[in-house]
Amino acid sequence: MSDPTFWRVGDEPGRRQFVTLDHGGRGVDLEGGGHLASVTIAYETWGELDARASNAVLVLHALTGDSHVAGPAGPGHPTPGWWDGLVGPGRALDTDRYFVVCPNVLGGCQGTTGPSSLAPDDRPYGSRFPVVTIRDQVAVETALADHLGVARFAAVVGGSMGAMRALEWALGYPERVARAVVLAAGAAGTADQIALCSLQVRAIQADPYYAGGDYYGGPPPRGGLAIARGIGQFSYRTWTEFEERFGREPQDDRAVLDGGRYAIESYLRYQGEKLAARFDANSYVVLSEAMNHHDVGRGRGGVVAALKRVRVPLTVGGIASDRLYPRELQEELARLVARAGPVRLITSPAGHDGFLIELDQVGAIITEALAV
């Protein structure tokens, strides 16, 4: 049976809007040498664009996020908005003041062109989908801004993979960004991060149903994706949280020496299966590799030289307990970017996921940045 859970053309769109770009028939060239005949972007908006088109804020999601940053679950949206408490009247991203835009990322599986999308031959791209980078994703987002009539964003805000894109906006399109908020990311993928992503990719590719990436129309590689997500979930959280929540407790009354499971094992299995029920494995591979390729210094003389050229005001936030993107990476950004100021630290037992969980602290950081 094919996998019906990620969004496809013909499904209920929910709040999504769409624009298709082909640059006058030239298509979209990618940094790694690949090419797409056209790109469809799914996006959602909140609030109204003012007469001068000066109040737009671009919000950029992380690896398994989507355009649904705010709003309830419902038709077209299997989960509530991932930053629902931050977007709306009187909130940090005040929709009485700002026109908030959130696109689904290039390579994703929630309406924007990705591996599950139909190629010009009306078959899913699958293994034929080209390598995309963070810079490619940002280039597509600039085309969306053109479509919306936004020459310059009042702010670009993102966490994790979204923060990588926010940083690339500041470097690649400084004339189009008044300020950027970068949460829980660094200037380049580290060996540690690349190692974890590569293990997740290998888990997916080892699934017997993966079929080299051409599994559409048949059983999806849910088992491999679930394992990949379990590895990721382990890195997103902390030793302290796991000890306090789970310790060595069994999941139920069945002894672990008699075929039972530890509670932490059950938790990681649940997180993996939940993600596998709503996400495309190929998109997980493509986006994980895009994060591995993240390097603001590529072609710019190295990380130090690149960051020293940033002139956009940068608000840098990190999570004190983050073991995947540790504080040192945010300190580097703050040290080398002239208009960054000190790192704003989020206190959380949840590690990297703190940027999704600690909404009061994240909201305070965003409010401070927008007040400048």
**The pLDDT of residue 141:** 98
Question: In percent, how much of the chain has pLDDT > 90?
Answer: 91
Clarify whether 121 is annotated catalytic.
Answer: no
Of 264, 288, 312, at which residue does a domain stop? 288
Residue 10 lies in a domain: no
Please answer whether residues 133 and 31 qualify as being in contact, where contact means their C-beta atoms are separated by less than 8 angstroms.
Answer: yes
320 shares a domain with 173: yes
pLDDT digits (tens, 9 = 90+) for 1-52: 344 468 999 999 999 999 998 878 889 999 999 999 999 999 999 999 999 9
User: Which of these three, 266, 288, 310, is where a domain ends?
Assistant: 288
Residues 244 and 186 in one domain: no
Pick the last residue of a domain from 234, 254, 288: 288
Q: Which CATH number does the domain housing residue 336 bear?
A: 3.40.50.1820
According to the model, what pLDDT value does residue 2 have?
42
The predicted pLDDT at position 372 comes to 77
For residue 165, how many C-alpha atoms fall within 13 Å in the half-sphere facing its CB? 31
Residue 6 belongs to some domain of the structure: no
User: Are 117 and 263 members of one domain?
Assistant: no
pTM for the complete prediction?
A: 0.96
Give yes or no: 235 in active site. no
Predicted confidence band at 260 (pLDDT cuts at 50, 70, 90)?
A: confident
| Residue the block writes with tokens 């908005």 | 81
**Catalytic-role residue among 61, 68, 293, 352:** 352
Taking a C-beta distance cutoff of 8 angstroms, is the pair 156, 60 a contact?
A: yes
- The answer to whether residue 256 scores a pLDDT higher than 80 is no
Do 232 and 359 belong to one domain? no
In a shared domain, residues 143 and 240 = no
Taking alpha carbons only, the member of 103, 77, 100 closest to residue 87 is: 100
Out of 280, 295, 322, 353, pick the active-site residue: 322
Catalytic residue among 67, 117, 160, 283: 160
Q: Which CA distances in Å does 350 have to 294, 353, 368? A: 24, 6, 23
Residue 236 placed within a domain: yes
Which CATH number belongs to the domain containing residue 230 in this structure?
Answer: 1.10.1740.110
- Cβ proximity of 296 and 171 under 8 Å: yes
- For residue 345, list its beta bridge partners: 318
The reply to whether 4 falls in a domain is: no
- Residue 129 sits in the same domain as residue 165: yes
High-pLDDT (> 70) share of the chain, %: 98
Residue 5 lies in a domain: no
Residue-range definition of the domain harbouring residue 251: 194-288
Task: Specify if 102 maps to a domain.
Answer: yes
pLDDT in tens, 48-70: 999 999 999 999 999 999 999 99
**What single-letter amino acid sits at 39?**
V
Mean of pLDDT values over 332-349: 97
Q: What is the amino acid identity at position 258?
A: D
| Within-domain flag for 7 | no
Query: In this structure, is residue 361 part of a structural domain?
Result: yes
pLDDT at position 145 over 60 = yes
Number of domains observed in the structure of the chain: 2
Active-site residue flag, 127: no
